[in-house]
């Protein structure tokens, strides 16, 4: 899981930069519209990076749960494809 740590830490750092830019915009409030825009972009990118990190970490569990959901939606059990003698 070496990529989880990298994605998670980079996502947290990007999120902190975004929140810092938004806070600077709220504190200064003069000619800082660009900081708010950049801050929201950084915050969204950081959140997406953290989500990607957790998807990478739990991809086997998520794949298993998606397969179970697919079987439940199709109303098939695992023996329905077998030929009867």
79 lies in a domain?
A: no
83 lies in a domain?
A: no
**Is the pTM of the predicted complex or chain greater than 0.85?**
no
The residue range of the domain holding 26 is: 2-74
**At 51, is the secondary structure helix, strand, or coil?**
helix
| 62-82 pLDDT, tens digit each | 888 888 787 777 766 666 666
39 lies in a domain?
A: yes
8 lies in a domain?
A: yes
Q: Are 42 and 20 in contact (CB under 8 A)?
A: no
48 lies in a domain?
A: yes
Distances (CA, A) of 39 to 11, 12, 21, 73, 76: 14, 13, 5, 41, 48
Q: Count of domains in the chain?
A: 1
Task: Say what the pLDDT of residue 47 is.
Answer: 94
Write the CB contacts of 78 (distance below 8 Å, at least 6 apart in sequence).
Answer: 71
85 lies in a domain?
A: no
Q: Is the pLDDT of residue 35 over 90?
A: no
At residue 15 the predicted structure's pLDDT band, cuts being 50, 70 and 90, is very high
H runs (alpha helix) in 1-85 = 2-28, 33-57, 59-74
81 lies in a domain?
A: no
44 lies in a domain?
A: yes
């Amino acid at each position: 899981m070496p990529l989880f740590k990298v994605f998670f830490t980079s996502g947290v750092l990007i999120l902190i930069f975004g929140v810092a830019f938004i806070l600077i915009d709220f504190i200064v409030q003069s000619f800082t519209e660009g900081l708010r825009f950049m801050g929201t972009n950084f915050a969204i990118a950081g959140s997406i990076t953290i989500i990607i990190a957790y998807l990478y970490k739990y991809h086997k569990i998520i794949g298993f749960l998606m397969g179970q959901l697919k079987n439940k939606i199709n109303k098939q059990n695992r023996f329905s494809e077998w030929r009867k003698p």
